[in-house]
Structure 1
Amino acid sequence: MTQDFIALTPKAPDAAALLAALHAGGPDLTLTTTDDDAVVHLCTADGRPLVSVEAPLLIHTAGEAERLLGPDLSPAGTSYWWTEIRASTAAPGAEALAASVGGRLTTLLGGTLWPRREPGSTAVVDAAQDHHAVAASPGDLPVVDVLTDSTAVVLADRPVLGLTTWLADILRITTAADRALHLVTPPHVRLTLPLRAALGGAPNRWVVQDPAGGYYDGLSGAVLVWRNGTFAPIGDGRVADAFTATAAPTGEHQLTVAFRTLHAPDADLLLGASLQTAWRHLTGTDPVGWGTAEPVNLPWSPRQLTTLARDRAPAPTHTLAIGTPARPAIATHRTTRTAAGVAEDVTLAIGYAAGEQAPLEAIEPLAAELVDAHGLTTMLTTLRAARADLTLPARLGPPPVPVAFTLGPRDVREAGLAHARRPPLAIRPAQLGTPDAPSLHYPLGDGTDTAAWTTLSRLAAHLGSRVGGV
């Protein structure tokens, strides 16, 4: 598995500290850089990579280390530096070398090395004579564990695997090169929702090592084999027993609100305001942090988010937002220029422990404000039995159940108000917005009856006959 170490330090790893740490392997190793010098690689004399050290990241968001690395890890202070150190899985001596690099950083700067190491882990390691390391990936692709014509394979073993900058870069580059990304993990690893969303579907995969032997897809359960340079379903439709094993109900659940807003490309447009509105309605607070990858490191700022999107335009901008540890919440936010204006696509998920109730009564008032102030086009709310910490295990879980659907003024106008208000169902929508630009909010249930999917499907067919799909 990936031999990752993370140094969490109260002081910034400056050039002197990084150089001292990188000398853990002795004088015979060489240094190279990639990603505009954002990643430093320790290599053997013939250029084979042993350890990669990413640019340190200043974390301003409370709870990120605990969320991604485990509850027993609590960095001191409200801000700290996060430095990722990754060993080559092809070099047996690289893991000890990476631990030494991280250990030296925390010895010089204070703080904690994850995973925790036994005393003496900072000793100098001579890895220069280990010639089993694979060559760096060609071109601009970050170093991966296996690279074939069709697939980049990354081995990972963390309690929670998030959408790190490294994985985001690999996804971007493999997609552009028409390659798949396959993440291979042990069965105890869980994914964050942003990484799950970024992986999408085939050809990318989450490949889980089956405790009984072999591999299976962590999202579908399909039994997989390594064939022709990629992981592929075995072909007989089998699903791994480990994926379908029944887990005891916990009473935890997740509320998910997915919506799109559309704005005129105005100079005063502030992106992220609709997301902030949803956060306030459903949690009573604003997001605490945002960023482009995990860990989420920046204090929440719609103005900074807007600046980033303008700098990247006309290309889309993908960002994340995170809530307080007391109320687990995370969102993906995508800004896109369209022919109709500037679109924001938001998916906000909020976790609830056993005994807590999701605020379903807040959904209709939220829809009303999004219609009145933020240009809502559509919104779908669902509830599902799932982990309150918003992570995804490699196991079959109950599907989300629709709670409500909102259709914005533009699509109501296209469908015709009279038609949209009278679906062939035992539900009657609430009219939102103004008489001149009405919107319709359709209640679908309380999130406990999967028959709500049939209701939503019939509603979509009724509306889609006029608006070209919902």
Structure 2
Amino acid sequence: MTKDVIVLTPTMPDAKTIVAGLFAGGPDLEVRTLADGAVVQLCAPDGRTLVSVEVPFLVHTPGEAQRLLGPDVTAPDVPFWWTEARASTAVEEADRLAGSFAGRLATVLGGSVWPPQAAHTDVVPVAPDASGAAPPTTPPAVDALTDGTAVVIQDRPVIAMTSWLSDALREATANDRALTIVTPPRTTLTLPARFALHGHPNRWVVQLPGSGYYDGLSGAELHWQEQAFTPVRDADGSTRVAASFQPVPDTGERQLILNIRTTHEPDERLVLGGALESACRHLTGAPPAGWSTAEPVSLPWSTRQLTALARSRAPQPTWLVAVGPAGSPAVATTTVTRTTAGVEEDITLTLGYGPDEAVPLDAIEPLAQALAAEHGLTSMLTSLRAARRDVTVPPRFEAPPAPITFTLGPDAVRGIGLTHAARPPLDTAPVRLGAATAPCLHYPLGGDGSDASAWERLQQLMDHLKAA
């Protein structure tokens, strides 16, 4: 198991400060670097990894510390520096060593440490390994490694798709392993982390007090068997559902979800991110606050910089995460892919609303028209569900969203045929938006996010459109 300690400072930790922090274990410990210097590890003389420290990065996005570490966390004004250390609990002294490293940085530079009780400045001597065995080698974020599973154990209020976790997932996938994250039941996932873990073979494993495990997304009761977490089955072979996987009470909170796909000509003047910005402006009144390739979201919003990154990685796809403006809980993921059709953006934007906040459903139709006219809209599915305003995922049963509208972009309408696409087997005719010669079609599906029959209407629509 590892424990995370995070230092938030108003100024960048320079080399002298980092070295002072690394001397928290005395002069006998060794230092090595990984990932071309992106990770610094403090090691015992026998080679055991004690603490791994990621290179500090600058966070420009307001509210990121509170979103990922809890509403009560104290952070400097943006921009501030985020330095993250992971202590291995395979060595008893490692967590205090990480706390001393963090405390020394905060003492020299100001700022704060999360969790605050971890910070101190004592020298922490490390006892030699009595076994004399050579330490196993694992990636910095991984706690246990088997032939088929990479296990990451974390005790944080929110599990985000950090660079640590991205690297662990990438390496597990490359070596045909499942990534398993083990957390206590009070932990939630950000939506980017949930999307990464959704579906077999990756798992979110919730450890109950005392003993017992279950899948935080499906509720399946689990046990450790044959070097992996596997479902516990009854005598008839059915999977048990954990008693803790109860439905989340309906508090009146809602999530509005937009699945947007756009297609662009691969022109050198192409600028990406416009569809997401337009959606955010229509629904919150402001553009996204920031974007990044991992969480925390660290960069100020810039379609120009986003496009430059995607272009530098082409023809490989680019995955991005963005967050909404302050006061509007919103998270989006975007995958940019070069295909035979052009440059495609697959966007999932989720916005949270409290029980006293109106969901801006009247903004969906104008948004659809703007996306079709200006941003190469191929399709957009809008759905609504009862779920947390902070747009995180708890280890409880949540009702799936129900579709509200579906929009087909002008090129897709042309490919299907306007006459056929405009006559679906639905009670309500689609609304024609945009130019009369090349309209997009906006299909109301009814419902308020709780009408399960809206899925049947969507399926009827999809069958009709595919029949063309």
RMSD (CA atoms): 1.6
Question: Any idea what SS the aligned residue of 2:186 has?
Answer: coil
C-alpha deviation, 1:178, in angstroms = 1.1
Aligned to 2:13: 13
Aligned to 1:68: 68
TM-score when scaled to structure 1? 0.95
Task: Determine the C-alpha separation between the residues in 2 that align with 1:436 and 1:265.
Answer: 24
C-alpha deviation, 1:48, in angstroms = 1.2
C-alpha deviation, 1:143, in angstroms = 4.3
Q: For 1:249-260, list aligned pairs within 5 A.
A: 249-260=250-261
C-alpha deviation, 1:449, in angstroms = 1.3
Task: Determine the C-alpha separation between the residues in 1 that align with 2:171 and 2:127.
Answer: 30
Of the three residues 455, 462, 465, the one matched with 1:453 is: 455
May I ask how many residue pairs the two structures share in their alignment? 462
Task: Determine the C-alpha separation between the residues in 2 that align with 1:211 and 1:65.
Answer: 27
Question: Any idea what SS the aligned residue of 1:36 has?
Answer: helix
| Deviations 1:79-111, CA, capped at 9 Å, x for gaps | 111000100121121111111111111111111
Aligned to 1:225: 223
Aligned to 1:441: 442
C-alpha deviation, 1:118, in angstroms = 6.6
C-alpha deviation, 1:277, in angstroms = 0.6
| Deviations 1:358-391, CA, capped at 9 Å, x for gaps | 1001101101111111111110001111110111
Question: Any idea what SS the aligned residue of 1:153 has?
Answer: strand
Task: Determine the C-alpha separation between the residues in 2 that align with 1:58 and 1:403.
Answer: 39
Question: Any idea what SS the aligned residue of 1:82 has?
Answer: strand
Q: For 1:149-168, list aligned pairs within 5 A.
A: 149-168=147-166
Aligned to 1:111: 111
Task: Determine the C-alpha separation between the residues in 2 that align with 1:248 and 1:387.
Answer: 10
Aligned to 2:262: 261
| Conservation of the 8 A alpha-carbon contact between 1:431 and 1:441 | yes
Aligned to 2:208: 210
1:190 aligns with 2:191: no
Q: For 1:388-407, list aligned pairs within 5 A.
A: 388-407=389-408
Q: In the alignment, residue 322 of structure 1 is paired with which amino acid? A: V
Q: In the alignment, residue 250 of structure 1 is paired with which amino acid? A: T
Aligned to 2:271: 270
Q: In the alignment, residue 89 of structure 1 is paired with which amino acid? A: T
| Conservation of the 8 A alpha-carbon contact between 2:184 and 2:207 | yes
Q: Structure 2: give runs of 5+ residues left out of the alignment.
A: none
C-alpha deviation, 1:212, in angstroms = 6.8
Aligned to 1:387: 388
TM-score when scaled to structure 2? 0.96
Q: In the alignment, residue 46 of structure 1 is paired with which amino acid? A: D
Q: In the alignment, residue 21 of structure 2 is paired with which amino acid? A: A
Percent identity between matched residues is 57
| Conservation of the 8 A alpha-carbon contact between 1:25 and 1:128 | no
| Conservation of the 8 A alpha-carbon contact between 1:91 and 1:131 | no
Greater mean alpha carbon deviation, residues 269-278 or residues 205-214 = 205-214
Task: Determine the C-alpha separation between the residues in 2 that align with 1:68 and 1:29.
Answer: 32
| Conservation of the 8 A alpha-carbon contact between 1:377 and 1:411 | yes
Task: Determine the C-alpha separation between the residues in 2 that align with 1:278 and 1:134.
Answer: 54
C-alpha deviation, 1:248, in angstroms = 3.2
Q: For 1:291-370, list aligned pairs within 5 A.
A: 291-370=292-371
Off by >4 Å, runs of 4+ in structure 1:
130-134
| Conservation of the 8 A alpha-carbon contact between 1:93 and 1:130 | no
Q: CA distance change for structure 1 residues 128 and 19 in 2, over 3 Å: closer, same or farther?
A: farther
C-alpha deviation, 1:134, in angstroms = 8.3
Q: In the alignment, residue 215 of structure 1 is paired with which amino acid? A: Y
| Conservation of the 8 A alpha-carbon contact between 2:141 and 2:152 | no
Task: Determine the C-alpha separation between the residues in 2 that align with 1:303 and 1:11.
Answer: 27
1:199 aligns with 2:197: yes
| Conservation of the 8 A alpha-carbon contact between 1:353 and 1:388 | yes
Task: Determine the C-alpha separation between the residues in 2 that align with 1:55 and 1:69.
Answer: 19
| Deviations 1:187-234, CA, capped at 9 Å, x for gaps | 000000111112231100000013473111000000111111111112
Question: Any idea what SS the aligned residue of 2:244 has?
Answer: helix
Task: Determine the C-alpha separation between the residues in 2 that align with 1:260 and 1:457.
Answer: 18
Question: Any idea what SS the aligned residue of 1:452 has?
Answer: helix
C-alpha deviation, 1:436, in angstroms = 2.8
Q: Structure 1: give runs of 5+ residues left out of the alignment.
A: none
Aligned to 1:40: 40
Q: For 1:25-174, list aligned pairs within 5 A.
A: 25-117=25-117, 121-130=120-129, 135=135, 137=137, 141-174=139-172
Q: CA distance change for structure 1 residues 411 and 118 in 2, over 3 Å: closer, same or farther?
A: closer
Aligned to 1:378: 379
Question: Any idea what SS the aligned residue of 1:367 has?
Answer: helix
